[in-house]
Amino acid sequence: MSKKLVVVALAMLVLVGAMGLKTVVAGSGSGAVLMANGGAPAPPTPWKNGGAPAPPTPWKNGGAPAPPTPWKNGGAPAPPTPWK
Amino acid sequence: MPGPLEFFIWCACFVLEVSVVVCAIRGKVFRRYLPLNLYMAASAIGDVLRFRILFHYGFTSKEYIYFYYYSDALLTIALYLALISLFVHVFRELGAEKYVLFGACFLLAGTALFSYLVIQQSTTKLVTHFVVELSQNLYFVGLVLTYVLWGAILKLRETRAQLVQLVLSLGIYFSLFAANYAIRNLYPPVSPVAIALLQVLGCFLPGAWAYAFLRLSSHARLTPSNLAVIPR
């Protein structure tokens, strides 16, 4: 049993070391992905398909100006908060 | 679409991968290093399928991108298992195989859990993020394990030349890719050159293993003086 615990501790140590090394190597993190098997040319990452510009978010429909928030009625200046 | 040079390197890599399996069969060590040979065979099959998908759908097609990254993750797991088989070879004389296998399973599960915890905030393409993250994390685990194995080889004064060559080449292979990854992250302007180098680096491991199976006899031993001596 104690030998298995030693193995578990060593495995966790290796995992911590590997993740620490990865963090050091990744540096500022430019989003590069490590590809290490075979000689095939590496494609772009799956979540970065092509060079097309990103579309607008789905909840931004059309180019109309955003309406005032529901709790901001009228154009009067906002009063100070009640607890100040 | 990749140019003629990229295709030439790719074909050379494929030939080297096939030659590893052929040399292992010829040297009658195919079964002894079965996981290594299976990894090389899987890598060669993966290259053929990637080639076919690339020609059929195109370089920037979703099919090629997804197949490339998913197959890369599977191959990284296969490489991890091949590395563990080398651990078993080294620790067999100590009768510690079952502890090595237990530790390997625990480490694989721990890496998968860690990868999931890292990407669980991703709202889109969760599985794809997980596959790529697991592949990268497992790669760095393999890098650390290779150096641990090399330390064990020195400590146990392992003298089997073929085994030492296999482990050494694996360590160099992992280190080359880690250096390439570091350069791409730390110096993004040279990233295109580093990405172009990836293909050449990919040929190193099959080349070194083919050499080990072709030139080194399975019974060849290193003289102890050729290894650094560490007191037991």
A22 touches chain B (CB under 8 A): yes
Q: Which residue has the tokens 């899987």?
A: B42
Q: Please check whether residue B156 is in contact with residue B224, taking contact to mean a CB–CB distance below 8 angstroms.
A: no
A15 vs B102: CB contact, 8 Å cut-off? no
* pTM, to two decimals: 0.81
Whether B157 is in a domain gets the answer yes
Of B59, B106, B124, the CB nearest to A43: B59
Max alpha carbon distance in chain A (Å)? 74
**Nearest C-alpha in A relative to B143:** A18
Residue with more model confidence, B5 or B22 = B22
Which pLDDT score, from 0 to 100, does residue A52 have? 39
A36 vs B13: CB contact, 8 Å cut-off? no
A58 touches chain B (CB under 8 A): no
Of B60, B71, B141, the CB nearest to A44: B60
Residue A15 to residue B190: CA distance in whole angstroms: 30
Residue with more model confidence, B210 or B1 = B210
Q: Which pLDDT tens digit goes with each residue over A14-36?
A: 999 999 888 888 776 666 777 66
Whether B229 is in a domain gets the answer no
Whether B9 is in a domain gets the answer yes
Which pLDDT score, from 0 to 100, does residue B172 have? 93
Q: Which pLDDT tens digit goes with each residue over B67-83?
A: 988 998 999 999 999 99
Whether B178 is in a domain gets the answer yes
Confidence of residue A51 (pLDDT cuts 50, 70, 90): very low
For B160, phi then psi, to 5°, come to -70, 110
Q: Please check whether residue B83 is in contact with residue B145, taking contact to mean a CB–CB distance below 8 angstroms.
A: yes
Q: Which pLDDT tens digit goes with each residue over B146-185?
A: 999 999 998 888 888 889 999 999 999 999 988 888 888 8
Structure tokens at B181: 């990854």
Whether B112 is in a domain gets the answer yes
Whether B226 is in a domain gets the answer no
Nearest-Cα distance to chain B for A59, in Å, is: 16
* Position A13 pLDDT exceeds 50: yes
CA-CA-CA-CA torsion sign (B59, B62, B64, B69): positive
Confidence of residue A54 (pLDDT cuts 50, 70, 90): very low
C-alpha separations of B40 from A20, B73, B177, B210 in Å:
29, 14, 18, 10
Instruction: Name every chain A residue with its beta carbon within 8 A of the beta carbon of B8.
Output: none
Q: Which phi-psi region, left, alpha or beta, contains residue A31 (left: φ > 0; alpha: ψ -120 to 50)?
A: left
Which pLDDT score, from 0 to 100, does residue A65 have? 52
**Nearest C-alpha in A relative to B64:** A43
* Position B18 pLDDT exceeds 90: yes
Q: Which pLDDT tens digit goes with each residue over B89-128?
A: 998 888 888 899 999 999 999 999 999 998 887 767 788 8
**Nearest C-alpha in B relative to A1:** B99
B125 vs A33: CB contact, 8 Å cut-off? no
Mean pLDDT across chain B, nearest whole number? 88
A17 touches chain B (CB under 8 A): yes
Neighbours of B201 (CB within 10 A): 18
Q: Percent of chain A, pLDDT > 90? A: 10
Whether B216 is in a domain gets the answer yes
Residue B199 to residue A41: CA distance in whole angstroms: 6
Which pLDDT score, from 0 to 100, does residue B74 have? 92
Of A18, A30, A39, the CB nearest to B188: A30
Which pLDDT score, from 0 to 100, does residue B211 have? 92
Whether B133 is in a domain gets the answer yes
B198 vs A35: CB contact, 8 Å cut-off? yes
Instruction: Name every chain B residue with its beta carbon within 8 A of the beta carbon of A16.
Output: none
Range of the domain at B186: 4-220
The domain that holds B137 is classified in CATH as 1.20.1070
* Position A84 pLDDT exceeds 80: no
Domain count within chain B: 1
Which pLDDT score, from 0 to 100, does residue B132 have? 87
Confidence of residue B44 (pLDDT cuts 50, 70, 90): very high
* Position B193 pLDDT exceeds 70: yes
Confidence of residue B224 (pLDDT cuts 50, 70, 90): low
Which pLDDT score, from 0 to 100, does residue A31 have? 65
Residues pairing with B160 in the sheet: B221
